[in-house]
């Protein structure tokens, strides 16, 4: 406790609002009815020991010779100025420091947070601790130590590092891993014009960041090449560069896509005629790539592979002695999608029980098992389809059943 004469000296120097803090030798707090205790703030995490009884939780003036500056000075390593709300342990002025320039009782400590209070309690963001430093009656708060502030989100770890309440939503988490998208880096207005075509890029994960990789296989504009029948510079006109004039009536081969596609799959070049005025007309008879048509045996997209991207279809022979028996689709095509079945008994009823995702198909003629014979074909696919029905699975019976389990067939 500072000797009485020192406290009296302090009272003479301080403004009148502080006189009540100095007049009581016993240290009892004065009324201060108009002042709020620093610990009463709803956002404050400081303990009772972090407040100074009887002193307004605001900036204090210079304490005089031998005493710490209690006002807006640069005490305790602060960068200058005083936090507008003292002793709440928060960064109220947004300068990255908590309660800088505020008076406190030396030797006490309080919880603190030198960041945006909206981040507190979200993700890993937590308060730290700061102590009160000084050798006189009043000191200043030191740097806040141990607080966890927001940082950039690390993708795919399920954590909310930026403390905004949402995990993995940072600017570096722009796509789903291994997903792909079309891309094009050429000039505006040239995509899908002439030879120009988009490429493909994949979402890659490197050093905690998700981003789109390089744009691969795109075709960009190039200098117009006369006589090749293509729009090389992707401006919408074929062979329009200076010196590309032609002789009226002459013919030439033409193709609007990349030259490498010509002769691949269904893709074929066309022809165009030089019209009056020395310019070639439209390209006639060319066949460009299109979306693959599954099952036609053609390479519609001109990539060198017919029916690529289409499901695998397998025809499984069915030859069963007796009935109430099953056939199974193979592992490479485990989903039944069709059948052509002959049941050789005399009963007019036939039943095929199956599920779109179950490789096993059950066959039953009438209500007596073991006496008949079942032959035909079961069609299986690598992709599931609709449940077998009269349209996809034909049976040579006048009364047909297509339940999802054998329990739906006639009782045996």
Q: For residue 350, which of 386, 305, 400 has the smallest C-alpha distance?
A: 400
At 371 the three-state DSSP class reads coil
For residue range 350-362, what is the model confidence (pLDDT) as tens digits?
999 999 999 999 9
Backbone torsions φ then ψ of 59, nearest 5 degrees: -60, 145
- With tokens 């891993």, the residue in question is 177
pLDDT one-digit tens code per residue, 384-399: 999 999 999 999 999 9
Residue 287 class from Cβ within 10 Å (0-12 exposed, 13-18 middle, 19+ buried)?
middle
pLDDT at residue 167 in the model: 83
For residues 124-149, give the mean pLDDT: 93
Whole-angstrom distance, CA of residue 379 vs CA of residue 327: 11
Question: CA–CA separation, 100 vs 97, rounded Å?
Answer: 6
Q: What percent of the chain has pLDDT over 70?
A: 79
pLDDT in tens, 315-337: 999 999 888 999 999 999 999 99
Tell me what the mean pLDDT of segment 235-245 comes to.
Answer: 82
Contact assessment for residue 65 and residue 115, using Cβ atoms and an 8 Å cutoff: no
Q: Is 242's pLDDT higher than 90? A: no
230: buried, middle or exposed (CB in 10 Å: 19+, 13-18, 0-12)?
buried
296-315 per-position pLDDT tens digit: 889 999 999 998 888 888 99
Q: What is the pTM of this model?
A: 0.34
Task: Band the pLDDT of 22: cuts 50, 70, 90.
Answer: very low
Residues 271-281, mean pLDDT to the nearest whole number: 82
Pairing of strands 399-401, 349-353: parallel
176-230 pLDDT, tens digit each: 878 899 999 999 999 999 999 999 999 888 777 788 889 999 999 999 887 777 8
Q: Could you tell me which residue, 18 or 133, shows the higher pLDDT? A: 133
pLDDT at residue 31, as a whole number: 37
Q: Could you read off the pLDDT of 81-129 as tens digits, one per residue?
A: 677 899 899 998 889 999 998 999 999 999 999 999 999 989 999 999 9
pLDDT at 81: 63
410 or 178: which leads in pLDDT:
410
User: What are the tens digits of pLDDT across the range 51-88?
Assistant: 333 333 344 333 333 333 443 333 333 344 677 899 89
Any bridge partners for residue 381, and if so which?
313, 335
Is residue 373 predicted with pLDDT exceeding 80? yes
Place of tokens 């690529």: 308
CA 202 to chain CA mean position, Å: 13
* Nearest CA among 384, 411, 385, 402 for reference residue 341: 402
Domain ranges across the chain: 1-165, 174-221, 223-309, 313-408
- 27 pLDDT band, cuts 50/70/90, is very low
Per-residue tokens: 303: 């990539």
Give CA–CA dist 31/50, Å, rounded: 19
Q: Is the pLDDT of residue 287 over 90?
A: yes
Higher pLDDT, 161 or 10: 161
Which 8-state DSSP code applies to residue 259?
G
Residue 50 has pLDDT above 60, yes or no: no
């Amino acid at each position: 406790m500072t000797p009485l004469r020192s406290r009296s000296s302090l009272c003479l120097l301080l403004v009148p609002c502080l006189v009540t803090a100095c007049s009581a030798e016993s240290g009892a707090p004065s009324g201060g009815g108009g002042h709020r205790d620093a610990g009463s703030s709803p956002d404050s995490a400081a303990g009772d020991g972090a407040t100074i009884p009887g002193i307004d939780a605001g900036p204090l003036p210079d304490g005089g010779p031998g005493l710490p500056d209690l006002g807006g000075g640069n005490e305790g390593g602060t960068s200058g100025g005083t936090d507008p709300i003292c002793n709440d342990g928060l960064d109220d002025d947004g300068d990255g420091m908590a309660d800088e320039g505020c008076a406190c009782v030396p030797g006490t400590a309080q919880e603190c947070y030198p960041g945006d209070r909206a981040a507190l309690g979200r993700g890993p963001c937590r308060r730290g601790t700061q102590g009160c430093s000084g050798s006189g009656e009043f000191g200043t708060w030191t740097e806040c130590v141990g607080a966890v502030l927001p940082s950039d989100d690390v993708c795919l770890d399920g954590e909310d590092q930026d403390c905004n309440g949402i995990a993995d939503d940072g600017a570096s988490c722009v796509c789903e891993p291994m997903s792909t998208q079309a891309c094009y880096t050429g000039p505006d207005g040239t995509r899908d014009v002439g030879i120009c075509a988009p490429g493909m890029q994949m979402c890659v994960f490197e050093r905690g960041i998700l981003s789109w990789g390089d744009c691969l296989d795109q075709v960009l504009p190039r200098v117009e090449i006369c006589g090749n029948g293509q729009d090389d510079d992707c401006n919408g006109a074929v062979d329009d560069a200076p010196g590309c004039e032609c002789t009226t009536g002459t013919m030439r081969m033409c193709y609007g896509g990349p030259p490498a596609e010509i002769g691949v799959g269904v893709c074929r070049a066309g022809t165009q005629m030089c019209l009056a005025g020395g310019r070639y007309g439209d390209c006639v008879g060319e066949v460009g790539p299109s979306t693959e048509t599954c099952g036609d045996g053609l390479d519609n997209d001109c990539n060198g592979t017919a029916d690529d991207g289409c499901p695998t279809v397998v025809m499984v022979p069915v030859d069963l002695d007796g009935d109430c028996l099953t056939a199974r689709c193979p592992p490479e095509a485990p989903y039944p999608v069709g059948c052509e079945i002959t049941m050789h008994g005399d009963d007019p009823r036939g039943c095929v029980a199956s599920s779109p995702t179950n490789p096993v198909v059950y066959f039953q003629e009438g209500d007596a098992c073991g006496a008949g014979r079942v032959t035909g074909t079961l069609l299986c696919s690598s992709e599931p389809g609709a449940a077998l029905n009269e349209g996809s699975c034909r049976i040579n019976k006048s009364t047909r059943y297509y339940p999802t389990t054998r329990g739906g067939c006639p009782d045996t």
